[in-house]
Structure 1
Amino acid sequence: MEAQYCLSCGTHLEIRNMGGEDRKACPSCSFVFWGNYSIGVGALIMKDHKILLVRRSQEPGKGLWTNPGGYIEQHEPIEKSIVREVFEETGVTAKVRGIVAAGDMPRNVHNVYLVFLMDYVEGEPKPDNVEVDGAGFYSIEEMESMNVAGLTRRLADIAFSSPSQGLIPDPNPVESLPGYGLYRIERI
């Protein structure tokens, strides 16, 4: 769905060329509709040489085994989003270690997908029976006979090949704004 009316004042939006791109803008105030974006998060959690997977019970990907994940909430830091999503889908508590992959899926809603390497803390995987109807830790050998999504197979390769920490949370980001976060590499 694309905006037709200003989200600030309700005036019908017009098309304006801004920086070489046609954008929907409000003729009455300064609002510009920059596009539809979403940020998804996914988890790679290893325990005893097995990776945590869930079986999707809804579209997209109904019936496929994937790594747990979901979407961030508007005022939620991404690190809390992935911890929440893993717990909601599986009952497993995990701690963020770093970001090891980023996906870019431009389409009607441009989706950016951040994949977190996480440390298992506690809990036995149990599906939420809403978004997922299966959950468990599986070896690479077990995955061979499972209906695993292509992206998840690639991410499992990353997890099983002992990835670096990736981008790690910066404990002292330059900005001191509430809720501001920064992920960085350890050294260049």
Structure 2
Amino acid sequence: MEAHYCLSCGQRLEIRSIGGENRKACPSCSFVFWGNYSIGVGALIMKDEKILLVRRCQDPGKGLWTNPGGYIEQYEPIEKSIVREVLEETGISSRVNGIIALGDLPRDVHNVYIVFLMEYLEGQPQPDKDEVDEAGFFSLNDMESMNVADLTRRLAHIAFQKPSHGLMADSKPMISLPGYGLYRVQCL
């Protein structure tokens, strides 16, 4: 989405140098259009030495096997976003253990992808038939004959290496803002 008008007062935006960058800003109020961003979340869930994968039935990635995931909602903590996405796509209940990878794809819509190591809790893989048409647990050997997305293949190798929890949720973040979450490296 390209912004042409102020989202606060409706005035046509102009280009101004702000922080050393040309940015769209409102000549009538303090609104600055900082850019267009998308935050995606992905899950790595292991069970019995296999990883949970889904086959996409929509573009982007139609026909590819990927790890379950999706996009965060505006007022939803990322930890709840990934638990919700996994449940919606696969019927699997899970819990976040930590963040083990972060993807960054700057372009017209700057895409940031947060990959969570998840704990399997319960359920049998059932595709939602809306976003995914197949779901199941697969070994690396199984994946050799499957049409697995390149990023998912790389993430699966990370999961099979049995990583630490990576960045973990801080139960007492120092910043006391309602809803603020912090992930950090845990001390050994």
TM-score, structure 2 as length reference = 0.99
CA distance in 1, matches of 2:162, 2:178: 34
Cα RMSD of the aligned pairs, angstroms, is: 0.7
- Report matched runs for 1:81-100 at 5 Å: 81-100=81-100
How many pairs are equivalent? 188
* Deviation beyond 2 Å, 4+ runs, structure 1: none
Classify the secondary structure of the residue corresponding to 1:9: coil
Q: CA deviation at 1:88?
A: 0.4
1:30 to 2:30 alignment: yes
Letter in 2 for 1:129: K
**How many angstroms does 1:178 deviate by?**
1.3
What is the 5 A alignment of 1:1-188? 1-187=1-187
Counterpart AA for 1:34 = W
| 1:74 alignment partner AA | Q
| Deviation of the 1:19 alpha carbon | 1.7
Per-residue deviation, 1:20? 1.5
* Unpaired stretches in structure 2, ≥5 consecutive residues: none
AA aligned opposite 1:122: E
C-alpha offsets along residues 131-184 of structure 1, whole Å, 9 cap, x if unaligned? 000100001100000000000000000000011110000011001221110000
Q: Share of identical aligned residues, percent?
A: 75
Taking the aligned partners of 2:179 and 2:80, their CA distance within structure 1 comes to 11
Q: How far off is 1:125 after superposition?
A: 0.5
Query: 2: distance between equivalents of 1:75 and 1:19?
Result: 28
Q: What is the CA–CA distance in structure 1 between the aligned matches of 2:13 and 2:175, rounded to whole Å? A: 34
Secondary structure at the counterpart of residue 118 of structure 2: strand
Q: Alpha-carbon deviations, 1:39-96, whole Å to 9, x = none?
A: 1000000000000000000111000000000000000000000000000000000000
Distance 1:97 1:164 in 2: 9
**2 CA distance for matches of 1:19 and 1:166?**
33
- Counterpart amino acid of 1:46? M
Give distance in 1, aligned partners of 2:152 and 2:187: 28
Question: How far 1:29 moved relative to its partner?
Answer: 0.3
The separation in 2 between residues aligned to 1:54 and 1:179, in whole angstroms, is 31
